[in-house]
Structure 1
Amino acid sequence: MADVARVAGVSSQTVSRVSNGFPGVTEETRRQVLAAMRELGYRPNSAARALKRGEFRTLGVITFSLSSMGNIRTLEAIATSAAREGYAVTLLPVAVPTQDEVHGAFSRLGELAVDAVIVIMEIHLLDAVTVSLPPGVQVVVADSDAGDRYTVVDTDQVGGARDAVRHLLDLGHDTVWHLAGPEGSFAAQRRANAWRDTLTEAGRVPPPLVRGDWSAESGYRAGLRLAGEQHCTAVFAANDQMALGLLRALHERGRRIPDDVSVVGFDDIPEAASFLPPLTTVHQDFAEVGRLCVAGVLSKMRNAGTEHGTTLVPPRLVVRHSTAPPPPREDARAGQVQGP
């Protein structure tokens, strides 16, 4: 800093003010200092800045499953939003959702220089371990089951599932079958509960629930079973990947989509519009979830917030070509043939 001051012909205090973006420096002086910095290859020491200010300008992100399209898109939005605010992101992926892995991630986070933490993980994994963070480190969780224990940002899972089921009922289907996600997933459970409640409120009897594991392969296996259910004319799949496998199985068994069976997915992955037929699905705005996670945690930092709130991003039903009114009933077709 002293060298920069000498070359620029200013005081070390002026170099510090320019380096930290403080006011009170003329434009001409600022240009002189920046030119001297470039000439000497000077860069401010971020570690020293952090020690002086008591902040690191870094957000920690703990997430499970980097192979998940939703997590990747949320993480991308977090990184972009953080950069716009002048923050870096330190990522700590949890390879396997066990207590030891989650505890290890938080332990490593405690050793790193972060100002706040965003958790992209179902809350039961977080509650299963003893989490210890440095004083003043704020936390935002992307999981609506976190309730009033944390500040929450998530998609309105229940509202999205209700929209999917109502769409199929409004088309005239007597009931809607459900291809659910794995039992250990709270997101899957919320969507399944909303499916069941929506049918019950409409006076319909929920069919037996069919379960998958989020993968297209599990959707294919479930589809082979559902293809044999002749009264199955509508299926709500808990994610688009399972819907993809379901479509293949139904096609192989001669069940036409949507003539014989209508299918709705959940997520609206980029490939959903290229399925055969293009998939009707519930769009989740992962980018907005990520942006609001950053906005929420920065607000808590700046206001030293201790109160917890919940922000649910509304989903949107995207209607394509995989849904239609149900086929005519056998008795109706028979009546047409036997009529006068």
Structure 2
Amino acid sequence: MEDRAGVGTAASGAEGPAPRRRRGASMADVARLAGVSSQTVSRVSNGSPGVIEETRTRVLAAMRELGYRPNSAARALKHGEFRTLGVILFNLSTTGNVRTLEAIADSAAREGYAITLMPVAVPTQTDVRGAFTRLGELAVDGIIVIMEVHLLDTSTISLPPHVQVVVVDSDAGDRYTVVDTDQRGGARAAVDHLLELGHRTVWHLAGPPDSFAAQRRTEAWLAALREAGRTVPPLLFGDWSAESGYKAGKLVPDDCTAVFAANDQMALGLLRALHERGRRVPQDISVVGFDDIPESASFIPPLTTVHQDFAEVGRRCVDGVLGQIRNQSAGPGTALVPTRLVRRSSTAPAPSAG
């Protein structure tokens, strides 16, 4: 018969006290092993300057040997910051949002900050406020919101007051610190390029109507054609995906010689549809995209497109929120990151202009 007494009595303490739980290494333990003061260990833990490299290396080696983990929460309470930024966004499926998030993470890391991502499934006032509350509970120093869609108005969503926040892709610069790509300037460069090649007009494959970026690109396309006195074709719409670009490509009329697509993914689908219809790019029809994704140079033909500097957007977002944290912010306003046209093989003079 199995003897279970040992298990029961050990748990109850009948055979003596339970083994003492091993105490974690303390700052004093690290200091003794490294041969330095506890103050020096604290400075190394906090990433403070003024510690010579040899000493820093010795302290870090002692931390690793002892398995010492600095108490970040305690440091935050003492120094007033958690070295973490929250990022709220509503869509992780678009190229622009993913690349912006990546750029923010890279820029934050260079500043010694981590990021905490908080996706919001339903863009409502309640859910946005809930995301701010949860990020507050997770102890972040500031928040970056990637909006993309029309939400920042008094009837839909307003951000909580007294929060260090930067908004990406919004026209709410009168109330918040906003960072955005120069959407209008980029779209204008795309349309002007096609008109300069002799195309009588330019069709536009627009993004979703509720997108700030899509709206600004459409507005610039429309203004460029009107100022040039050109006929304004009906809009084609997509949802940023290559599939939607492919469907729109089936609707492009045979007399169209130029299309400006609001992003590269839709331009990719458009190129496929035009190829299936026997329309040669750029001999019969020119195509310009927007974003300059890494793959755009490998399209057939390589895509002329508008380059967005996502790295600079990320840097300005992080600089903006850190400026607020450090009381160096100039307040509400919009910072536009310039774009540039990248000319490749998908555009050429209009057939009649050849």
User: TM-score, normalised to structure 1's length?
Assistant: 0.87
**Which structure 2 residues correspond to residues 120-199 of structure 1 after superposition, within 5 A?**
120-122=146-148, 124-127=150-153, 128-132=156-160, 135=162, 137-199=163-225
SS in 1 for 2:151: helix
Q: Residue in 2 aligned with 1:115?
A: 141
% identical aligned pairs: 77
**Which structure 2 residues correspond to residues 57-136 of structure 1 after superposition, within 5 A?**
57-122=83-148, 124-127=150-153, 128-132=156-160, 135=162
Q: Residue 248 and residue 313 in structure 1: after superposition, are their counterparts in 2 closer, same or farther (change >3 A)? A: same
Q: Say whether the 8 Å CA contact 1:102–1:126 is kept in structure 2.
A: no
Q: Residue in 2 aligned with 1:287?
A: 311
| Residue 244 (structure 1) aligned with residue 268 (structure 2) | yes
- Using the TM superposition, give the Cα deviation of residue 202 of structure 1 relative to its aligned residue in structure 2, in angstroms: 0.9
Distance in structure 2 (CA, Å) of the matches to 1:61 and 1:165: 34
Q: Say whether the 8 Å CA contact 2:170–2:212 is kept in structure 1.
A: no
User: TM-score, normalised to structure 2's length?
Assistant: 0.84
Distance in structure 2 (CA, Å) of the matches to 1:18 and 1:326: 64
Distance in structure 1 (CA, Å) of the matches to 2:166 and 2:78: 26
1:2 is aligned with what amino acid? Answer: A
Distance in structure 1 (CA, Å) of the matches to 2:94 and 2:263: 11
Distance in structure 1 (CA, Å) of the matches to 2:297 and 2:276: 21
Q: Residue 230 and residue 21 in structure 1: after superposition, are their counterparts in 2 closer, same or farther (change >3 A)? A: closer
- Using the TM superposition, give the Cα deviation of residue 163 of structure 1 relative to its aligned residue in structure 2, in angstroms: 0.3
Q: Where does structure 1 lack aligned partners over 5 or more consecutive residues?
A: 333-340
Q: Residue in 2 aligned with 1:269?
A: 293
Q: Residue in 2 aligned with 1:338?
A: none
Q: Residue 180 and residue 35 in structure 1: after superposition, are their counterparts in 2 closer, same or farther (change >3 A)? A: closer
2:68 is aligned with what amino acid? Answer: Y
Alignment: residue pair count:
326
- Name the structure with the higher helix share: 1
SS in 2 for 1:118: strand
Q: Residue 253 and residue 50 in structure 1: after superposition, are their counterparts in 2 closer, same or farther (change >3 A)? A: same
Distance in structure 1 (CA, Å) of the matches to 2:242 and 2:60: 55
Q: Say whether the 8 Å CA contact 1:140–1:150 is kept in structure 2.
A: yes
SS in 2 for 1:303: coil
Q: Residue 243 and residue 36 in structure 1: after superposition, are their counterparts in 2 closer, same or farther (change >3 A)? A: closer
Q: Residue 40 and residue 311 in structure 1: after superposition, are their counterparts in 2 closer, same or farther (change >3 A)? A: same
- Using the TM superposition, give the Cα deviation of residue 25 of structure 1 relative to its aligned residue in structure 2, in angstroms: 6.7
Q: Say whether the 8 Å CA contact 2:188–2:220 is kept in structure 1.
A: yes
Distance in structure 2 (CA, Å) of the matches to 1:212 and 1:27: 55
Backbone CA RMSD of aligned residues: 2.5
Deviations 1:291-324, CA, capped at 9 Å, x for gaps:
1111121122112536123211111111111111
Q: Say whether the 8 Å CA contact 2:152–2:172 is kept in structure 1.
A: no
Higher Cα radius of gyration: 2
**Which structure 2 residues correspond to residues 280-319 of structure 1 after superposition, within 5 A?**
280-303=304-327, 305=329, 307-319=331-343
Q: Say whether the 8 Å CA contact 2:200–2:230 is kept in structure 1.
A: yes
